[in-house]
Every structure is written in structure tokens, then in C-alpha cells.
Amino acid sequence: MPELPEVEALTDYLRERAVGRRVDRLEVAAISALKTYDPAPTAAPGRTVTDARRHGKFLDVVLDGDLHLVVHLARAGWLHYREAFPSAAPLRPGKGPIALRVRLDDGSGFDLTEAGTQKSLAVYLVTDPQAVPGVARLGPDALAADLATFTERMRSRKGQVKGVLTDQTVLAGVGNAYSDEILHAAKLSPFAITNRLTDEQLATLHAATREVLGDAVRRSVGQKAAELKGEKRSGLKVHARRGQPCPLCGDTVREVSFADSSLQYCATCQTGGKPLADRRLSRLVR
Ligand SMILES: [Zn+2]
């Protein structure tokens, strides 16, 4: 799932490539992906791309006259920039991976795609990004929050730190992958309870958040959009690395599975050497 660093890199790429170009066509192939009906997609052609912005994990393509194409890539969505399209024929609505296509006046443009059968990519055409419920609910940006803001936000919600850190209303931008990385860098258990964290632990967590996200942004920005996913993988220390050695201590990276997700962590670095109970497994055994 694209998180803050990947969306930041896509935003940066679009800003460089698409700003100043006029929208020729906006083609919607997956009707269910478009969550708004007013303004209609026909409002976009003829307008110029003036900016690309990021709101948490949302991408905002700004068109002149205050029109915003706001995109949430969800789990399996991605933005593919095309220097040219193979055909001028309009996209046919159907079951393909392309949800939406934007053609620009120089023949380039981008496709929003979504792999898999669970379709949750969401696109909003709005005159104000705050009209998108997920954007309106966002907490402060995880990369921009200073220590006081970060501490206040983390303490505003009592719960397991992994869940609170990925709650977009608490802080915007961190998802499953980078929360694993941040907690590893901060040497904190994903199940530590937020209101029991000391000031010192929160300061460490804040520093780790900035460091992990900042590093990932630096690695990602400037990469071609197509290469971003591989770049993300190469920078990860525990996430999606179950069974491999922790690069810090050499212990084996472990996993806790849930119904539709999992987390990875290093017991030596994060939980005093004690493995966490795997909830799914313990339920099966019972
Ligand atoms: Zn370790």
C-alpha cells in the first residue's frame, strides 16, 4: 500500500511532469472508483494542471479554476505516468486494472490502476479537497508534526501504538509498512499502550518517525514512478521480512498475523527478546 513516502514521490513526479499541461480527456473505466458526481468528469478537460499536493496518503491533482482530482490509492492502487498512450481510443469500462486515465495535451498522461479483485481505489472530483471525508478527518502530517504536536496526538488516543500510529485521524501518512519500520527504529513493541509511553519513549518515537519517513522520501523522490515500489522494499528492515535476519541485531524477524493483515517485528530489538503471541495461531490452537 502506498504510504506517505510513495505518495510524496508520486506528487513530486506529477508536479514536475504534469504541471502546465492541459487535460485533454478524463476517462473513467471503473465507475465504482469515482466517488463523486458533481462536478462531473466532463468538467476536467480544457483545464490546466496547476499543482500536485499530498494530504496524508491522498494525492491531489489541482486543476485551474479550483478543481481537484483527489486520489486514494488504497491497498493495491498505483499511478502510472505514460509518456504516450498506445491508442487514442477511449478506455473501455470493464474488468481491467485501469480505473481512470487522464490524457494531457502533449500526448502524455497517467493511468490510475488497481491490481486484484478487491477494488477500493477511490477518486474524488471536488472544488475543495476538504470535501473528501477522508481528507477532512486527517490529523497533522506525520512528517511535519513537531514533538509537541506528535506527543499530544499520540496521547489523544489510548490504544496499541501500532494502531494509533496508523490511525489517519491521529497522524496522517503512516500505514502498515512504515509503522513496522518506525516501531523497529524506536525499539518499541507494536502492542505498547500509548498512554503508558514515557515522554522519552514518545520523543524517540517522534525522532524515529521523522527519520524513517524522511529517509524513505529521500530514497523515493526523484525515482521514476515505476521504480518506486522496488525502492520501498529495499529500504525496509523488518516489514515483509519475516524469517530474515534483523539488520540491527541478527535475530530472526517475526510476524503476528491478523484476519486481513500482519505485522513484522524483531523481538530482540523491540520486545526484550520475548516473542509476541500470534493471535491467529493462538485462536486456531484453542
Ligand atoms: Zn533486531
Q: How far is the CA of 242 from the centre of ligand 1 (A)?
A: 12
Element spanning 82, H or E: strand 77-82
Q: Residue 279: is its pLDDT beyond 70?
A: no
Q: What is the pLDDT of residue 63?
A: 98
Q: Residue 46: is its pLDDT beyond 60?
A: yes
Provide the whole-model pTM. Answer: 0.93
Per DSSP, the chain holds a count of helices (H) and strands (E) of 9, 10
Task: Give mean pLDDT, residues 23-37.
Answer: 95
DSSP string spanning 99-127? EEEEEETTS-EEEEEE-SS----EEEEES
Q: CB count, 10 Å around CB of 218?
A: 12
Residue 78 dihedral angles phi and psi, to the nearest 5°: -155, 160
Q: Residue 84: is its pLDDT beyond 70?
A: yes
Q: Residue 280: is its pLDDT beyond 90?
A: no
Q: How far is the CA of 246 from the centre of ligand 1 (A)?
A: 5
pLDDT band with cut points at 50, 70 and 90 for residue 286: very low
Return the closest-CA partner of residue 125 out of 79, 61, 168. 61
Q: What is the pLDDT of residue 221?
A: 79
What average pLDDT does the chain have?
92
Q: How far is the CA of 259 from the centre of ligand 1 (A)?
A: 26
Express each pLDDT in 210-265 by its tens digit.
999 999 998 887 776 556 665 666 789 999 999 999 999 999 999 999 888 899 99
Q: Residue 281: is its pLDDT beyond 90?
A: no
pLDDT band with cut points at 50, 70 and 90 for residue 285: very low
Q: How far is the CA of 233 from the centre of ligand 1 (A)?
A: 18
Express each pLDDT in 194-210 by its tens digit.
999 999 999 999 999 99
Q: How far is the CA of 195 from the centre of ligand 1 (A)?
A: 25
Q: How far is the CA of 249 from the centre of ligand 1 (A)?
A: 4
Q: Residue 57: is its pLDDT beyond 90?
A: yes
Contacting residues for 134 by C-beta, under 8 A, at least 6 apart: 56, 58, 72, 122, 168
Q: How far is the CA of 38 from the centre of ligand 1 (A)?
A: 51
Whole-angstrom Cα distance, residue 28 to residue 154?
A: 39
Q: How far is the CA of 237 from the centre of ligand 1 (A)?
A: 9
Q: Residue 168: is its pLDDT beyond 50?
A: yes
Q: How far is the CA of 75 from the centre of ligand 1 (A)?
A: 27
Return the closest-CA partner of residue 33 out of 74, 90, 80, 66. 74
- Determine the distance from the C-alpha atom of residue 190 to the mean position of all C-alpha atoms in its chain, rounded to a whole number: 19
